[in-house]
Amino acid sequence: MVDLSALRAANASRFASAKLTRAAAFSPVAHRLIWAQAKARYQAVSARTGVPWWFIAIVHERECSQSFRGSLAQGDPWDRKSVHVPAGRGPFNSWEDCAIDALVNCAPFAARNKDWSIGGTLTMLEQYNGLGYAAKSRPSPYLWAGTDQYVSGKYVRDGVYDPNAVDQQLGCAGMIMTMMQLDPSIRFGEQAANDNAPPKVVARTGQVMVAPHPDSAPTISHPAPGSIGAWIVSLFKHAA
pLDDT digits (tens, 9 = 90+) for 4-15: 999 999 999 999
163 inside domain:
yes
Domain that holds residue 172: 4-194
Reply yes or no on whether the pLDDT at 99 is more than 70. yes
How would residue 239 be classed by pLDDT, with cut points 50, 70 and 90? Answer: low
Non-local (6+) Cβ contacts of 207 within 8 A are none
- Asked if 17 and 51 count as a contact pair (C-beta separation under 8 A), the reply is no
Compute CA distances 93 → 116, 155, 203, 233, 239, whole Å: 29, 35, 36, 15, 18
175 inside domain:
yes
218 inside domain:
no
Number of domains in the chain: 1
35 inside domain:
yes
Q: State how far the Cα of 19 lies from the Cα of 40, in Å rounded to an integer.
A: 29
Instruction: Tell me the average pLDDT across 92-103.
Output: 97
83 inside domain:
yes
Q: Find the DSSP H helices in the chain.
A: 4-17, 23-34, 36-49, 53-64, 95-105, 118-129, 132-135, 141-144, 172-182, 228-239
- Asked if 22 and 29 count as a contact pair (C-beta separation under 8 A), the reply is no
pLDDT in tens, 167-179: 999 999 999 999 9
How would residue 158 be classed by pLDDT, with cut points 50, 70 and 90? Answer: confident
212 inside domain:
no
209 inside domain:
no
Reply yes or no on whether the pLDDT at 240 is more than 60. no
pLDDT in tens, 170-216: 999 999 999 999 999 999 986 565 555 444 433 333 433 344 555 65
26 inside domain:
yes
How would residue 114 be classed by pLDDT, with cut points 50, 70 and 90? Answer: very high
